[in-house]
Chain A
Amino acid sequence: MSLTRLLRILFWVGWVAWFFVSALLVLAVSTVSPLGDWRFEEGELHLTWLFIFLWAVLFWAYTFILRFRASIATVRKIGKAIRGLPQRIGRAAKANPLFFITWAVLLVGWQITSYIAPKGTLEHPLVPGFDYIIYNALYRLSGNWDLFGGFSLGGLTVLFGELAPFPAIEGAESRTWTAVFLALGFHSFMTLSRLVAGLGVGLIAGLVTGLALPYWSALRQISWAPFNFLRMIPLLAAIPWMQFALGVDLRATTLFIGFGVWVMLVVATMNAVANVPDRYIESARTLGASRLRTYLKVIVPGAMPELRTALLLAGGLGWSLTIAAEFLGFPTGLGFMAAAAVQETNTARLVIVAIVVAFYSLLTFYLLNQLFNRMVSWMPQRTSGTTDISKVAGAAGAAGRAGDQLHE
């Protein structure tokens, strides 16, 4: 049993290592074979699509070779899900048609508004239609593809000029759809790396502190006032000061986002610990458990279910802080794209950034929910004690109508 676990850990560690090793392997190809169209000279790598393609193939080959059956099963599952998608959408549309009608009305309404809304005195329309958003604003996003300095990784500098031309250097004619997606990808990567670093540090620090402090009653009471004050400070308003004090780099955002999430989680966790039912604690004590043991084995797991909301709020807070911090003074990231759009009063570009950010944050909430479910797999699913309001309210309405008919 422990051997399988060891092998499993080895597999994952190996895959991470393979990520780097496979890149080095592909690098070596260009020196031995004329096939490689990428150049690697004096520590500078001119990246090409072929390089990325080969790297990806090698990277995924690892899991296909070592875990053939599981990989095939996963691919099958994904394929099945994609094939079943139209059917599922159809079923959902039948079950809840208002959902689709609402969205259709909203989207069509926006398009109609774009025709009748005042154009304004500015360069871009105040309410841009989807034609404008896709063919004008989205296409122009290729201007944000501006990694001409390359990307420095230790001794290696990666240059991206071969992937798509930089419109910022070569002029508006060199805009390409490739560059649009590269720009979105690059800025997303910057934002997500800031978010993940900050959220990771904040979540771990918050959970550890919040679970450790209440163990000592005196410490809990002493930390109550400072933490509750720090929690109430509007952190968004503190961003200008943060940039002054910490600077504008990954360390600064990590500290800042981590701090916000940490403070919030400490307060939430301490509340959750206080709300663990007494009966579990008493039961553990009569079974002879020591104070520390009761704390670790009973109070800590007992406090987990209450943390779902706190975890989701932490995700929301992390996103808010990241976007707002980028907005106010970072040269990269989705928040920067939004800020640039505001500079040009370009609402169409704002719509694009909003959609991208909404997609990512939905994904974040989904992942946090999964993480939480894994933490509390023992928790009973809530099936009783709640009410499907729509049904009951409908029933109430029906009862009311029946009553009216009786009176008539």
Chain B
Amino acid sequence: MTSTDVLDVRAKAQREKRRRRIASIIYIAIGITLFFVAWILLSLEVSPWHYDIPPPFGAVGPFQDILNGVWGLFQEEGAIAHFWHNLGYSQDMKIKFVHACPDLHPSNVNNPFRQVVSSLMGWKYTSETAALTGGPLPVPIGQLPDYCYGYATHLVVTIIRILLGAAFGTIAGLAIGLSSLVFPKVAQVFTPVASFFGTAPIFIAAPFFVIWFGVEVPIMTTIGLVTFYTTLLMYFFSRRAAENIPVGIVESALTLGGTPRSIFRWVYLPGTVPEIAGGFRIALAGAWGLGVLVEVLGIQVGGGHLIDIWRFLIGQLQAPSALVALITFYGVLAVVVDALLLVIIRYLTRWSEAGRRLGL
């Protein structure tokens, strides 16, 4: 064996690696294709679930229609098509009185934070709307700007609420969880309470939020519940993460002259990041469903309200399309946010084996 042979070995290894990577991409593509094939098959007229499951893209009947489905992405009956048609302004939504213009609420007119958010989200904040908001709510339906009749504003509102709730909850949960490392009394007080509320299904807390905040401050219902849930989860994850730090490391830090503060800053804080980050992913994944469902229970603006509307119109032909489209949207959203999180977590925990293994 000579040096050229060795180079050969290297080329072979690289070919092998590339082959494996291409194979895994092909497998994933096959998986996605099969997923859609199954969906299309379930939505065919021969399927017993024909009335419950709309086709993913456009009208899909027998074979020619399957082909047609590829180009018929924006035809009326498909789930994706339905979503696309109702995203901006839609006559349909206007007929059903489904509108969402949170920036029209009187309390928001003089709120600079809200104005910034509204402009970022492309909500027009004109003198016309300002004049409208001067009057008592609800604003007469016919006078709302067109962009109020569509899914987009509802969905954006819900996403922002859930993310805000998750952010508040994470801050609170980590504050309590990590401070309990330095002050053990905090843990003695908080753990029994948290484990009681944590083991009861979180959804049982939702009605309290609906009754307490649903009428007066509807925005607090979603944010409050998501905050509550995230606080509990993040408290547990931060505790468990700290418990998994080997005792030797902490003791060695103590013998090196560590003070509670320096141990907290340089041992606990970085050492717990991988598990806390993994916990945050779990918490956020749960928060989507929770945030949306609490809105189904009776909030007038938000993605959950859309589901609620279609729930009552369930007899209509469009309803399955609408429901499936909205559910799929939340699923895709969760995947996208999760993927973004994964990139950030990978960077934060590049020193850790567990961090690199996250998400396969």
Contact = CB atoms under 8 A, between A and B. Distances in A.
**Do chains A and B make direct contact within the complex (CB under 8 angstroms)?**
yes
A342 B206 CA distance: 10
B27 A403 contact: no
A236 B289 contact: yes
A387 B327 contact: no
Interface string A63-105: 0000000000000000000000000000000001011001100
Given A224-B28, A387-B245, A389-B242, A354 B331 contact: no
Contact of A400 (B260, B289, B308): B260
Contacts of B327: 233-234, 237-238, 241
Contacts of A99: 188, 192
B74 interface: no
- Chain B's interface size range is 35 or more
A365 B199 contact: yes
B247 A386 contact: yes
B201 A323 contact: yes
B6 to A, nearest CB: 27
A204 interface: no
Contact of A392 (B53, B250, B324): B250
A327 B297 CA distance: 9
B50 to A, nearest CB: 11
A16 interface: no
Contacts of B204: 323, 338, 353-354, 357-358
Interface in B192-211: 192-193, 196, 199-205, 207-208, 210-211
Nearest to B38: A226
A241 B201 contact: no
Interface stretch (A139-147, A215-223, A371-379): A215-223
B290 A232 contact: no
Contact of B328 (A228, A233, A324, A403): A233
Contacts of B338: 232
A47 B259 CA distance: 70
Given A221-B27, A240-B310, A385 B246 contact: yes
Interface in B238-254: 239, 242-247, 250-251, 254
Contacts of A319: 201
Nearest to A316: B201
B335 A232 contact: yes
B200 A389 contact: no
B182 A396 contact: yes
A347 B260 contact: no
B28 to A, nearest CB: 5
Interface in A319-369: 319-320, 322-324, 327-328, 338-339, 341-342, 345, 347, 350, 353-354, 357-358, 361-362, 365
Contact of A237 (B187, B210, B292): B292
A395 interface: yes
Given A240-B323, A245-B52, A358-B204, A234 B289 contact: yes
B130 interface: no
A99 B203 CA distance: 25
B288 interface: yes
Contacts of B88: none
Interface in A232-262: 232-241, 244-246
B311 interface: yes
B35 A225 contact: yes
B244 A103 contact: no
A393 B245 contact: no
Given A102-B189, A271-B360, A226 B203 contact: no
Nearest to A221: B27
Q: Which among B185, B200, B246 has the highest number of chain A CB atoms within 10 Å?
A: B200
B28 A342 contact: no
B211 A225 contact: no
Given A238-B327, A320-B203, A393 B34 contact: no
Contacts of A230: 331
Contacts of A234: 288-290, 292-293, 327, 330-331, 334
B91 interface: no
Given A103-B192, A353-B204, A389 B239 contact: yes
A376 B223 CA distance: 40
A126 B209 CA distance: 11
Interface string A259-276: 000000000000100110
Contacts of B205: 354
Contact of B203 (A327, A347, A386, A387): A327
Contact of B307 (A229, A237, A389): A237
Interface in A159-180: none
B334 A396 contact: no
Contact of B330 (A233, A323, A339, A395): A233
A224 B24 CA distance: 10
A397 interface: yes
Contacts of B150: none
Contacts of B324: 241
A2 interface: no
B221 to A, nearest CB: 12
A403 B258 CA distance: 10
Nearest to B207: A342
B34 A226 contact: yes
Given A102-B193, A221-B28, A362-B199, A245 B290 contact: no
A245 B296 CA distance: 18
A229 to B, nearest CB: 6
A126 B210 CA distance: 11
A195 to B, nearest CB: 10
A389 B251 CA distance: 11
B211 to A, nearest CB: 5
A399 interface: yes
B184 interface: yes
Contacts of A238: 323, 327
Given A233-B334, A275-B357, 8 more contacts: A237-B288, A244-B311, A271-B360, A319-B201, A358-B199, A389-B180, A389-B243, A395-B254
A-B pairs, top 8 by smallest CB distance, nearest first, are A234-B289, A236-B289, A245-B52, A387-B247, A221-B27, A358-B200, A390-B184, A233-B331
